[in-house]
Amino acid sequence: MKIQRFESTNPKRQDLELGVWFVPLCERVCRILARYRIVILGCVLVTIGCDQQSINDNKPGDLPTVSDSKTHSSNTVSSPVSMNAGSVMDTQDNLKSTSNQILYNPLNEAESYVILRKGTERAGVGEYTDNKKTGTYTCRRCNTALYKSDSKFDSNCGWPSFDDEIPGAVTRHADADGYRTEIVCANCGGHLGHVFFNEGFTKKNTRHCVNSISMKFYEAGSELPPVMK
């Protein structure tokens, strides 16, 4: 004899059966959410912040910046002037700001470092430190006569020393270091060195400490080149 099983068709009974497992499940979920609400809230805020940053980073008109070494090397702008044997003519720095745009004597890299960027030649290596010949020292950049050989003396400092300049050829002003006095060519402003006082080397008690590389020497009797003004 077969026993036929009848499913309940009473809606109220079905709701009751559903509530037996659904209500406890909801209560458990609520407890979990309440326990970890701070963590969940933090995750939501972080997500919103990241999305906003992404939007800002991708605004129209913004271009990406690449800064790896390969890009730098490939994007280096080369000088319009050719470089031969390690020397370079700095045409921009050698152009005098006048309506005629006079071009001074070309300078190589070492000369530009001292004359234009106020560097210092190493002590004891200068071409004219121990020069004893009679003649005139001129500005390497513009040919202005700066010093006569009879003003030169031995100071054993490692650079050519003079106790006087040709009148009007050299300009003095405070050095950037705040305590020395810089000397420059009065015509082109090229850096020569520094001047010191009260050292007792000569009666004039003055020492122009000049970089050899800032000058050119012409022996007595030689024709001096025209000054570039």
Domain of 187? Answer: 91-219
Over the chain, what is the mean pLDDT?
76
Spatial distance between the Cα atoms of 142 and 122, rounded to a whole number of angstroms: 23
Neighbours of 163 (CB within 10 A): 20
pLDDT the model gives residue 32: 72
Tell whether 200 and 101 lie within a shared domain: yes
The CATH code of the domain that includes 135 is 2.170.150.20
> Is there a domain that residue 3 lies in?
no
Query: 78 pairs with which residues across the strands?
Result: none
166-189: average pLDDT:
96
Tell whether 175 and 99 lie within a shared domain: yes
Tell whether 101 and 210 lie within a shared domain: yes
CB of 159 closer than 8 Å to CB of 121? yes
pLDDT at residue 131 greater than cutoff 70: yes
Spatial distance between the Cα atoms of 11 and 17, rounded to a whole number of angstroms: 10
Spatial distance between the Cα atoms of 37 and 39, rounded to a whole number of angstroms: 5
Please work out, in degrees rounded to the nearest 5, the angle formed at the alpha carbon of residue 194 by the alpha carbons of 190 and 195: 125
Tell whether 43 and 105 lie within a shared domain: no
For 59-116, write each residue's pLDDT tens digit: 444 333 333 333 223 333 233 222 333 333 444 455 444 445 668 999 999 999 999 9
> Catalytic residue numbers?
209
CB of 145 closer than 8 Å to CB of 138? yes
For 188-229, write each residue's pLDDT tens digit: 999 999 999 999 999 999 999 999 999 999 999 999 999 998
pLDDT the model gives residue 29: 72
Higher pLDDT pick, 19 / 86: 19
Spatial distance between the Cα atoms of 97 and 94, rounded to a whole number of angstroms: 9
Which residue reads 């800032």 in tokens? 214
For 22-73, write each residue's pLDDT tens digit: 667 777 777 776 666 666 766 666 566 655 554 444 444 433 333 333 322 3
Spatial distance between the Cα atoms of 105 and 46, rounded to a whole number of angstroms: 64
